Amino acid sequence: MPTLSRYYIRVGLIYLVVGLLVGFILSAAVWLNLPPSVAALRPTYLHLLTVGWLTQMIFGVAYWMFPKASKESPRGSARLGWAIFILLNAGLLLRVIGEPLLVLRADLGLGGLMPLAALAQWLAVCGFIIMTWPRIKER
């Protein structure tokens, strides 16, 4: 298994555990007598599971298992692969930190974090498509 795939899959599993923990906190907030502001974690919960776990797993397995592009460069550019990994995770971490802060502390002026997070994730997805497209071919 390529190193990059291992990173995607391991980080994805970490996000799965963290996402499910956040989901537990959200569902048990009343039972645990937590403040209503805990509801600000709902978008974080969804992003941790969809982008953090599901998307990372898809990217990691696709990078590993899709047909080889060529003998010289079987998986495409390794630099692009790592850039995608960094952009995807940077965007996700900006969301995980910034989204609850925007809801709870709008006075901090962090409104620019969400477009930056979205741009990083969008660039990661575009990079993934560019890197993966040549590997989708007939036998």
- pTM of this prediction? 0.88
Q: What is the spatial distance between Cα 55 and Cα 68, in angstroms, rounded to a whole number?
A: 21
Range of weakest confidence among 36-40, 79-83, 123-127 = 36-40
Rounded to 5°, the CA angle 45-85-119 comes to 70
pLDDT in tens, 51-85: 999 999 999 999 998 878 778 888 888 899 999 99
The length of the chain, given as a count of residues: 139
Per domain, the residue ranges of the chain are 3-135
Residue 93 CB burial class (10 angstroms; 0-12, 13-18, ≥19) = middle
Token pair recorded at residue 77: 């550019």
Query: How far, in whole angstroms, is CA 139 from its chain's centroid?
Result: 31
CB-CB neighbours of 14 under 10 Å: 14
Segment 5-24 mean pLDDT: 96
- pLDDT at position 9 is 97
Segment 104-118 mean pLDDT: 81
pLDDT: which is higher, 29 or 24: 24
Sequence-ordered list of residues with C-beta below 8 angstroms from that of 51, at least 6 positions apart, any chain:
15, 88, 91, 92, 95, 121
